[in-house]
């Protein structure tokens, strides 16, 4: 009996000794959950501007597949782990020095950032306006060039084809030479190719010039979004990106309005003269007010200055350490969109949605003159004003972004709150079970 009692006592002591670390672990988890819950509530009540979305964790696979050097702050090694500033400094790899670095585009003043956004949005609007304004010249082109309306419509098709092909070439080039160089070169060519459109002696000149005009102008539909992302943080990116994203859709709606008045009271060539004036103003604005914002290019400039000032040739920017071919990069840029369409169902669905919406919008350019001109007796300037309804709908959609963003933040918070509450309950249940 004594031996049995001693063995029972030793077993109970052993169980007690084993349960104490477990209870301590559970208690620690409960305290961590309480702290996380309190922090989440303070974020929601104190500042709605902070992002409440759950941040996706970066995996080794995603890091290795991207090797992104576009922010100038965070860099990742082959093992998927982020390198600290101390590691970068000791390896003489140039990076931005935080909020005090004048090279960082995120440290520019708010006035300068918004001026750049407005210039880029206006340039994008000018390009897409050129695509739609052309549709108001159909009847005069038919008269002067002795062509059918079908042939005149091909000018719209060739311009849109240029818009589709251009981003696959200009986007990878911007990764080598920077965004500013692409803006100046592309919009300069856009201005130049408007000249043969304005003085075209025949339909063939018009159709060819329209294609190259769309090809050059496509830079603002593919590269300009990166400039906006370069300057703003994730918490402040929504509004400027919304304004820039809306500008390509506003352009086709303003084109018929402007072109309706021009072609109602003057010659069709003045449609392109107006675009030439607009494009010249935009190019001058880009030259004087839109600096380089692409972080790898800025870091390369900083590395050049450091090597010149210190005489130490070991200072290198990340882009200088990368062995990349321009031709290979362009070829991959051409192949990658088709890979995304084939292997990413979400990307395919979004592209199909945009294609349907833009297809309907461009069909309106031919349908509105038939409906309002033939059936209702509208003059050309009145038919152009009928597109203002689409413009109003676009503005309402832009303004509703704030409401949708708040709704998403609220939903993200409650999902986060629910997960914390569930985890806390499970931890408490485990604690009670061990007790």
Query: Can you tell me the distance from the alpha carbon of 222 to that of 172, in angstroms, rounded to the nearest whole number?
Result: 10
Q: Is residue 62 part of a domain?
A: no
Q: Is residue 65 part of a domain?
A: no
Q: Is residue 347 part of a domain?
A: yes
Predicted TM-score (pTM) of the model is: 0.74
Name beta bridge partners: 82. 76
HEC readout, 267-305: CCHHHHHHHHHHHHHHHHHHHHHCCCCCHHHHHHHHHHH
Q: Is residue 61 part of a domain?
A: no
Q: Is residue 317 part of a domain?
A: yes
| Residue-range definition of the domain harbouring residue 215 | 99-386
Residue with tokens 């208690």: 27
Q: Are 132 and 365 in contact (CB under 8 A)?
A: yes
What the block records as the tokens of 321 is: 């350490």
Q: How many CB atoms neighbour CB 222 within 10 A?
A: 19
Q: Is residue 8 part of a domain?
A: no
pLDDT tens digits in sequence order for the chain, 435 residues long: 444 444 444 444 444 444 444 455 545 555 665 565 555 454 444 444 444 343 444 434 333 334 444 444 444 344 444 444 444 444 678 888 878 788 889 999 999 999 999 999 999 999 999 999 999 999 999 999 999 999 999 999 999 999 999 998 888 898 888 999 999 999 999 999 999 999 999 999 999 999 999 999 999 888 999 999 999 998 888 889 989 988 988 999 999 999 999 999 999 999 999 999 999 999 999 999 999 999 999 989 888 888 888 888 888 888 888 777 788 888 888 888 889 889 999 999 999 998 898 889 889 998 998 899 888 989 999 999 999 999 998 888 888 877 887 877 787 777 777 777 777 667 676 666 665
Query: Can you tell me the distance from the alpha carbon of 217 to that of 220, in angstroms, rounded to the nearest whole number?
Result: 6
Domain count, the chain: 1
- Domain CATH number, residue 171: 1.20.1250.20
Containing 108, the helix (H) or strand (E) segment is none
């Amino acid at each position: 009996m004594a031996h049995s009692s001693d063995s029972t006592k030793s077993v109970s002591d052993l169980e007690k000794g084993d349960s104490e670390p477990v209870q301590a672990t559970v208690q620690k988890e409960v305290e961590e959950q309480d702290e996380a819950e309190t922090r989440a509530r303070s974020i929601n009540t104190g500042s709605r501007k902070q992002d409440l979305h759950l941040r996706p964790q970066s995996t080794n696979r995603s890091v290795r597949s991207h090797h992104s050097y576009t922010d100038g702050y965070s860099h990742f090694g082959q093992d998927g782990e982020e390198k600290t500033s101390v590691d970068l400094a000791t390896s003489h790899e140039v990076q931005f020095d935080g909020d005090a670095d004048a090279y960082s585009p995120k440290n520019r003043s708010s006035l300068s950032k918004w001026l750049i956004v407005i210039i880029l949005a206006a340039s994008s609007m000018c390009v897409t306006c050129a695509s739609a304004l052309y549709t108001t010249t159909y009847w005069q082109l038919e008269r002067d060039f002795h062509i059918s309306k079908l042939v005149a419509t091909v000018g719209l098709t060739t311009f849109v084809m240029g818009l589709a092909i251009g981003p696959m070439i200009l986007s990878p080039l911007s990764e080598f030479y920077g965004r500013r160089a692409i803006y100046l070169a592309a919009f300069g060519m856009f201005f130049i190719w408007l000249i043969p459109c304005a003085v075209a002696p025949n339909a063939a000149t018009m159709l060819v010039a329209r294609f190259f005009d769309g090809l050059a102008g496509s830079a603002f539909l593919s590269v300009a979004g990166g400039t906006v992302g370069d300057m703003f943080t994730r918490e402040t990116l929504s509004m400027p990106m919304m304004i820039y994203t809306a500008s390509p859709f506003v352009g086709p709606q303003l084109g018929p309005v402007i072109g309706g008045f021009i072609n109602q009271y003057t010659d069709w060539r003045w449609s392109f003269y107006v675009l030439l004036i607009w494009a010249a103003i935009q190019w001058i604005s880009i030259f004087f007010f839109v600096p380089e914002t692409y972080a790898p290019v800025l870091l390369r400039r900083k590395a050049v200055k450091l090597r010149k000032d210190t005489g130490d040739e070991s200072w290198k920017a990340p882009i200088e350490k990368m062995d990349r071919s321009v031709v290979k990069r362009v070829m991959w840029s051409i192949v990658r969109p088709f890979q995304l369409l084939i292997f990413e169902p979400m990307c395919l669905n979004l592209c199909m949605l945009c294609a349907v919406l833009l297809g309907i919008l461009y069909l309106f350019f031919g349908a509105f003159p038939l409906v309002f001109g033939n059936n209702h007796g509208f003059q050309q300037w009145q038919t152009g004003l009928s597109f203002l309804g689409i413009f109003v709908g676009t503005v309402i959609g832009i303004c509703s972004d704030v409401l949708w963003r708040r709704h998403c933040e609220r939903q993200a918070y409650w999902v986060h709150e629910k997960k914390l509450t569930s985890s806390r309950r499970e931890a408490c249940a485990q604690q009670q079970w061990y007790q």
